[in-house]
Structure 1
Amino acid sequence: MTITQTPIKGLIVLTPRVFNDDRGYFFESFNETTFNEAAGYPVHFVQDNQSFSTKGVLRGLHLQKGEHSQAKLVRVTQGEVLDIAVDLRAGSATYGEYYGEVLSEDNNKQLFIPRGFGHGFIVLSDTAVFQYKCDNYYNKQAEGGIHYADPDLNIDWQLSADSFNVSDKDVELPFLRDVNDLGF
């Protein structure tokens, strides 16, 4: 597995070694020892989630606040998405900066998003299946987020805004400058 550190500390891209032959392919998608060495600390995942979405669906930017914050290991098993992580860690040198990575069934990349980040993605293909591991259980009272079109973040979602399919809940999320405390 190839581990690539992004420009934002703690945010890493994992690219597996894929073994192809005339029958198809095989790769190891997760190995706790290898992963924890790459992360630099032990991460214990407790919940796996999956979503199916169509082209233009934008989910995010989501987070869990305080003691319920979550680290995530995200990947795409069908289709292609642009995955976005925004550094929301108080005192971080890259606070308010984002990183984007295309994740697809073809590149098999995974993105590790530590606690203290907002997270979202947009589907670039006709459909996509998105899977992710979390190191903390979901807590409805701790959910929050930042508006996907926050002008201070200026995220390039790679599709025209008129093609976005966004939930009412995500449309109502605040801009980062309007949030006092995210609990990170």
Structure 2
Amino acid sequence: MTVRELAIGGAHVFTPVVHPDERGTFRADYVESAFVAAVGHPLRLGQYHNSVSRYGTVRGIHYAHVPPGQAKYVTCTRGSLLDVVVDVRVGSPTFGQWDSVVLDDRTCRGVYIAEGLGHAFMALEDHTVAAYLCSTEYNPGAESEIDPFDPALALPWPDGVQPLVSGRDREAPTLAEARQAGLLPAHDACLEHYAALRRT
């Protein structure tokens, strides 16, 4: 498995070795030793879930408040998607910036999104399946969203695609509005949380 860090601190891309033979393929999507070497602690597993999306579906930008926070390890088990990580941590040197990676069922890459980071994706094919390993169980009272079409962010959604978006995401505030309302996690609080995870 190879690992590289995205331009946003706390986000990593993991690429497994795919073993093909006449029966099909086999791979390890998550390897704890590689994950710990990159992140500094194992991935806690609070919930595992899947989404199935039509072409053009946009989900996000979602993030969890810190504390308690929720980290995600996202893979694409069918189809393909453009995955985007947004730094919404106030005080971060990369606040308001983003990086992206294509996840699909051929390269089998996974992306880790640390607590306090925003996450969104667009399905690039019909019946795209995204699988999420989440560090905590779903807690609707601790989660928020940012407008995925915030012009100040200018996320790299493909041209010519009519996006399918939930009402929740379509009505989400811009990054600036969320910051003004005090809804965003603080970078210092996130760093303290990461340090606590490395100590356990």
Partner letter of residue 109 of structure 2?
Answer: K
1:47 maps to what in 2?
47
Give the equivalent residue in structure 1 for 2:111: 111
In structure 2, the residue matched to 1:178 is 177
Take 2:80 and 2:42, find their aligned partners in 1: how far apart are those partners?
Answer: 29
Unaligned runs of 5+ in 1: none
How far is the alpha carbon of 1:10 from its aligned partner? 2.0
The 5 Å alignment of 1:42-121 reads 42-121=42-121
- 2:67 aligned counterpart, secondary structure: helix
In structure 2, C-alpha distance between the alignment counterparts of 1:87 and 1:21, rounded to whole Å: 40
Distance 2:142 2:159 in 1: 30
| Partner of residue 125, structure 1 | 125
TM-score (norm 2): 0.87
- State the match for 1:22 in structure 2: 22
Q: Between the two proteins, what is the percent identity of the paired residues?
A: 37
Counterpart residue type for residue 68 of structure 1? P
User: What does the per-residue CA deviation read over 1:111-153, in whole Å, with 9 as the maximum and x for residues that have no partner?
Assistant: 0111111111111112201101111221111121110011111
TM-score by length of 1: 0.94
Distance 1:99 1:33 in 2: 25
Q: Is the 8 A contact 1:68 1:137 kept in 2?
A: no
Distance (whole Å) between structure 2 residues aligned to residue 159 and residue 140 of structure 1: 32
The Cα shift of 1:110 comes to: 0.3
Task: Name the residue aligned to 1:32.
Answer: 32
Shift of 1:85: 0.8
- 1:68 shift after superposition: 3.0
RMSD in angstroms over aligned alpha carbons? 1.3
3-state DSSP of counterpart to 2:155 = coil
Q: Distance in 2 between matches of 1:5 and 1:143?
A: 25
- Separation in 1 of the partners of 2:23 and 2:144? 44
* Offset from partner CA, 1:41-63 (integer Å, 9 cap, x none): 33312211101111011111111
Distance 1:183 1:61 in 2: 14
Give the secondary structure class of the aligned counterpart of 1:179: helix
